[in-house]
Amino acid sequence: MSAQSSAGAGLAGILSRLQAPKKSQMEALVPFAILAAVLLLVVRIPSGLLDIFVIISLISGVVILLNTMYVNTPLDFSIFPAVILFTTIFRLFLNVATTRSILSNAEAGHVINTFATYVTGGNEVVGLVIFLIIVIINFVVVTHGAQRIGEVAARFTLDALPGKQISIDADLNAGVINEEQARARRRKLERETEYFGAMDGASKFVQRDAMAGIILIIVNIGAGFIIGMLQMKMGAAESLSTFTSLTVGDGLVANIPALLISTATGIMVTKAASDETVGLSMITQLTNQSRPLMISAGFILVLMMVPGMPKLLMALAAGTLFAIAQVAKRTEMEEGQQGSGPDGSGAAGGAGGEGGQAQAEELSEEDQARHNLEQLLSVDLLELEIGYGLIPLVDSEQGGDLLERVNNIRKQIAIALGFIVPPMRIRDNITLRPGDYNVKIRGNTVGHGELMLDRYLAMNPTGEAPELSGVKVREPAFGLDAYWINPDERAIAESDGYTVVDSATVLATHLTELIRRNCSELLGRQAVQELLDLTKQKFPAVVQDLVPDRLGVGEVQRVLMLLLAEGVSIRNLPLILECLGDHCSISKDPEVLTEYVRVALGRQIAAEHADAEGRITVLTLDPRIEEKVANSLQNTTTGTIPVLPPAYLRRLIDLVTEQVGRMQGQGYVPAFIVSPRIRPYLRKVFVKLFPGLVMLSYGEIAGDVEIRTFATVANPEEQA
């Protein structure tokens, strides 16, 4: 028994080694096959070996055609362009070998002789006509159509690439997919682009192969006729008959697989719209609608009435179509019942989107190394660096909920300002102190702070509460006086009028304020294109009327950035785009267009600054100040700015500072209302001195909003 087991194990091992060739051995097959094909050009091939090569050519055409019919997506057969190249070269080399054999020996093997006699019925004229028909069908119809479809598919694939990339970025920003899944989908897009680009070039091989077939038959018949009479001592009729027959047989043997591969090429370049096999797609899509089938059956019955028609055969065809139509009708009724609930509404739920199911592809070591280098070169739009002491805020296993808070911040900003904040990259930085953090936008630090995880931050919003025994600091988001206190002092601080929050809330609040203040820097051109694409789904006419013919994406981006810089929500993007479309013919200056948009958004802007009673308390300027500012406007490389005399400007700033201080002291948000023609330019003067200043214009205020003037800034020339 043991001997039998040992023998069985040894035999199994031999069989496993025979059945599993090494990868290196499989890789060597193609180079050896190409070298063997090259030998066809220089070595005389016996007729028996020619038969083998001819059969391989025929089989390869059949195998390739069937493979293309059973792939689900073009990328399942991504090597197809290279296959076209290799098979075309092989057939051309084989044509050289068969031509040498025909012209030298008036013999080309049994397969070609069979095609020359049996397939053509021994009639050279019939064979020649059949050959020409095949060549014409292949060249004029199949290869030309495949080439055209390949060109269009490559062009549309490249044109659609930015939109697909935007869709991936939108899913990533919305949290539908993670970075690995986004990377896998981008890699798939790259492969599709490369594939259709290669197919565009490969289809030209197929077309030129068909042209070569026409040239070869002319050369072979002419040269064979001369050789047969002069060298082989044949009569004219015998020589013409012999070499025409062999040439036609050779041409049929070469062009039948060429026609099959041309058909396969056409299938592959038209395959992009379906994820099913060609056979399944054709059957299901041609038979899933009952009405066309029933109309077709009726048409055949009417056609059957024509005298001379085969009535039995046509009645059978009509009956078959009618039966298929009845099956399709029952299927439609069943799907309609399954797709509706008891109240007639569609059933909820469904399969997840492609982004939710996409799996990250395995990265090779080379791809991983390249990805790491690319990561070093990339600059994140939004980044949070934390010291190692703040890692518990991020680690969910330690109770950290900062990631969830960041997602909530993105939702709040999307609702408040109307755009999706890009994902925030959070990373630890060992160069920071344990409790420190930095917030960066486009690689530049816009805010920093220090947290104490074991303490609470007690803030003094009124400035009248008694001092506490904790560590006195400035609250990072608003600059309020605050104390880091122990947890057991929280109740005492709250009773004294302090607002007490934990470290995670301090950081989340600071992040929210920094994003709000710098949101215009986060609105990149890619984000604007995503917003336009989303708007185009519901308001296509608005977007198409404006972008890109009248305004470019960059010009729209500049207007939106100017709005966000002043805290104006761009959520009502259709209205903004309509306003830009109405006024872009007047001026393409982003600042001028922004003023038109602000007027269109006047009710929204007024509502943001009005109090509970619908009033807006503002400061005004002496009319002579507005006139002087308007007369001092000058165009520079950085835009239009007011160029005022230094002494006048210093006095104006002192007067404005005085009034703003009075306004803030009474609890008002400092706001100005001025003429629309100077509003954006005057804001440039004051925005750096008073970061929270609101600058309104008279054209933005709706009629039902009450304006209350707090004070009027006097003319500096009178106060000098």
Residue 361, pLDDT above cutoff 60: no
Q: What is the CATH number of the domain that holds 545?
A: 1.10.8.540
For strand 615-621 and strand 706-713, is the pairing parallel, antiparallel, or unpaired? parallel
Residue 336, pLDDT above cutoff 70: no
Percent of the chain past pLDDT 70, that is, above it, reads 76
Q: Is the dihedral of CA 595, 598, 600, 602 positive or negative?
A: negative
pLDDT tens digits, 379-436: 788 999 999 999 999 888 888 888 889 888 989 998 899 988 888 889 888 889 999 9
Give the pLDDT confidence score for residue 362 in this predicted structure: 47
Cα Rg for the chain, rounded, in angstroms? Answer: 39
Give the pLDDT confidence score for residue 693 in this predicted structure: 85
Buried (b) or exposed (e) across 500-520, using 16+ Cβ within 10 A? Answer: bbbbbebbbbbbbebbbbbbb
Most confident of 78-82, 92-96, 195-199, 608-612: 608-612
Sheet with strand 444-450: strands edge to edge: 425-428, 382-386, 436-441, 444-450
* Mean pLDDT estimate for the chain: 78
Percent of the chain past pLDDT 90, that is, above it, reads 22
Q: What is the CATH number of the domain that holds 417?
A: 3.40.30.60
With respect to residue 7, please indicate whether it lies within any of the assigned structural domains.
no
Residue 452, pLDDT above cutoff 90: yes
456 pairs with which residues across the strands? Answer: 485
Q: Are residues 223 and 309 in the same domain?
A: no
pLDDT tens digits, 513-543: 999 989 999 998 989 999 999 999 999 999 9
Give the pLDDT confidence score for residue 486 in this predicted structure: 92
HSE-CB of 472 using CA atoms within 13 angstroms: 6
Residue 603 to residue 446: CA distance in whole angstroms:
32
**Region 260-281 average pLDDT:** 67
**Region 161-179 average pLDDT:** 67
Does residue 560 contact residue 598 with C-beta atoms inside 8 Å? Answer: no
pLDDT tens digits, 620-674: 999 999 999 999 988 877 778 888 888 898 999 999 999 998 998 888 889 999 9
Q: Are residues 618 and 657 in the same domain?
A: yes
Q: Are residues 218 and 233 in the same domain?
A: yes
Q: What is the CATH number of the domain that holds 677?
A: 3.40.50.12790
Does residue 551 contact residue 588 with C-beta atoms inside 8 Å? Answer: yes
Q: Are residues 130 and 261 in the same domain?
A: yes
Residue 269, pLDDT above cutoff 80: no
With respect to residue 227, please indicate whether it lies within any of the assigned structural domains.
yes
* Domain count across the chain: 5
With respect to residue 195, please indicate whether it lies within any of the assigned structural domains.
no
**Region 23-31 average pLDDT:** 63
Most confident of 282-296, 484-498, 692-706: 484-498
Residue 59, pLDDT above cutoff 80: yes
With respect to residue 481, please indicate whether it lies within any of the assigned structural domains.
yes
Give the pLDDT confidence score for residue 390 in this predicted structure: 92
With respect to residue 562, please indicate whether it lies within any of the assigned structural domains.
yes
Q: Are residues 409 and 458 in the same domain?
A: yes
Structure tokens at 303: 């056609």
Ramachandran category for residue 418: left, alpha or beta (phi over 0 → left; psi -120 to 50 → alpha) = left
> pLDDT category, 15, cuts 50, 70, 90?
very low
355 compared with 262, residue with greater pLDDT: 262
pTM over cut 0.85: no
598 compared with 312, residue with greater pLDDT: 598
Using a 10 angstrom Cβ sphere, with 0-12 exposed, 13-18 middle and 19 or more buried, the burial of residue 329 is middle
Q: Are residues 384 and 415 in the same domain?
A: yes
pLDDT tens digits, 271-317: 654 556 666 666 777 777 778 878 888 888 888 887 877 878 888 88
Give the pLDDT confidence score for residue 3 in this predicted structure: 43
> pLDDT category, 30, cuts 50, 70, 90?
low
**Region 426-452 average pLDDT:** 92
Domain end point (choices 263, 297, 329): 329
Q: Are residues 419 and 535 in the same domain?
A: no
Q: Are residues 98 and 216 in the same domain?
A: yes
With respect to residue 214, please indicate whether it lies within any of the assigned structural domains.
yes
Domain end point (choices 571, 600, 629): 600
Q: Are residues 617 and 667 in the same domain?
A: yes
With respect to residue 13, please indicate whether it lies within any of the assigned structural domains.
no
Q: Are residues 625 and 581 in the same domain?
A: no
Give the pLDDT confidence score for residue 461 in this predicted structure: 77
pLDDT tens digits, 202-231: 666 666 666 676 677 777 777 776 777 777
pLDDT tens digits, 85-139: 777 778 777 877 877 777 777 777 777 777 777 666 667 677 777 777 777 766 6
Show Cβ contacts of residue 419 under 8 Å, excluding neighbours closer than 6 positions. 413, 519, 522, 523, 527, 531, 560, 564, 570
Give the pLDDT confidence score for residue 435 in this predicted structure: 93
Domain end point (choices 600, 623, 650): 600
Residue-range definition of the domain harbouring residue 314: 289-329
In sequence order, what E strands does 292-380 have?
none
Q: Nearest to residue 424, comparing CAs of 370, 483, 374, 384?
A: 384
19 compared with 378, residue with greater pLDDT: 378
Residue 8, pLDDT above cutoff 50: no
With respect to residue 41, please indicate whether it lies within any of the assigned structural domains.
no
Residue 176 to residue 11: CA distance in whole angstroms:
53
**Amino acid letter, residue 374:** E
Q: Are residues 506 and 589 in the same domain?
A: no
Q: Are residues 232 and 91 in the same domain?
A: yes
